[in-house]
């Protein structure tokens, strides 16, 4: 079964919008796990507009499942991750002022840099994943960096799913087959939701994990976390 990791950035955004500590991020993380989430994902950014670095440092105390930290591997981020030593780090090439992640790595152009960063994380026993677009040569390039996994950037799939699901998922299936042939693990995330997740999982061989945040939080405003988490697990099974 594909694992569900819940990105809790939006919970931090809501908290920060008012100040104080409501909603209480650590309690939400603990509750999500009790409702069935198999991992917690955060993406701290340099301006700390949602997840703060002190959140990242505090979360391990309440986590009983996988901890995945995403981000651009600038020196401050590298120091944070090596200090915490989460289960997984996902490298994302987002600019400091990016509203959200909007592109995957060029694993060919940035091979040397990525290989150095990945080697550093792996030396601390941290599994590595690279955020990539569904392009076979980019997946092949990821193999050459030494990464353990890739995370397929699924925004294009989500945008085109309503028009033509088969066409939308086709490049992702090809990229996944390439990753499987190369022995790279496969994660996925960005704009997956209750409508499009099941079809994606059915068409991606050996998909290990999805990271879902924005849509899951929005859906939970109507349905509640305790209901939404099992709904995702059903689609991932």
CATH number for 113: 3.20.20.70
* β-pair partners for 131: 151
The answer to whether 110 is a known catalytic residue is no
Q: Which of 103, 50, 35, 40 minimizes the C-alpha distance to 72?
A: 103
Pick the closest to residue 40 from 76, 3, 66, 12 (CA basis).
Answer: 66
> 66, 190, 209, 219: which one is catalytic?
190
Domain residues for the domain of 150 are 3-236
Cα-only R_g, the chain? 17
Torsion of CA 174, 180, 184, 187, to 10 degrees: 60
How many structural domains does the chain have?
Answer: 1
214 belongs to the catalytic site: no
Q: Which of 66, 70, 209, 219 is catalytic?
A: 70
Rounded mean pLDDT for each run of 10 residues along the chain, 237 residues in total: 97 95 98 98 92 97 98 96 98 70 87 98 98 97 98 97 98 98 98 98 98 98 98 97
CA–CA separation, 35 vs 227, rounded Å? 8
Q: Is 190 a catalytic residue?
A: yes
Reported pTM: 0.95
Q: Which of 109, 151, 107, 145 is nearest to 129 (CA)?
A: 151
So what's the pLDDT on residue 94?
78
Q: SS3 for 136?
A: helix
Catalytic residue selected from 43, 50, 209, 219: 43
Instruction: Look up residue 137 and give its two tokens.
Output: 């040569």
């Amino acid at each position: 079964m594909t694992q569900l990791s819940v990105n809790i950035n939006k919970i931090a955004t809501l908290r920060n919008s008012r100040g104080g500590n409501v909603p209480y991020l650590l309690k939400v993380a603990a509750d999500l796990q009790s409702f069935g989430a198999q991992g917690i994902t955060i993406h701290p950014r340099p301006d700390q507009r949602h997840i703060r670095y002190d959140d990242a440092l505090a979360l391990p105390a309440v986590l009983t499942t996988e901890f995945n930290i995403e981000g651009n591997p600038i020196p401050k981020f590298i120091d944070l991750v090596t200090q915490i030593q989460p289960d997984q780090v996902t490298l994302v090439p987002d600019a400091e002022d990016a509203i959200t992640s909007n592109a995957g790595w060029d694993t060919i152009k940035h091979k040397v840099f990525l290989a150095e960063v990945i080697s550093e994380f792996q030396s601390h026993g941290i599994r590595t994943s690279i955020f990539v677009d569904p392009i076979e040569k980019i997946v092949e390039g990821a193999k050459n960096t030494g990464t353990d996994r890739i995370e397929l950037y699924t925004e294009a799939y989500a945008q085109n799913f309503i028009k033509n699901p088969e066409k939308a998922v086709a490049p992702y299936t090809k990229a996944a087959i390439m990753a499987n042939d190369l022995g790279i693990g496969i994660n996925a995330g960005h704009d997956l939701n209750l409508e499009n997740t099941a079809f994606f999982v059915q068409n991606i061989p050996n998909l290990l994990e999805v990271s879902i945040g924005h849509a899951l939080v929005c859906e939970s405003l109507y349905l509640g976390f305790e209901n939404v988490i099992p709904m995702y697990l059903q689609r991932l099974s």
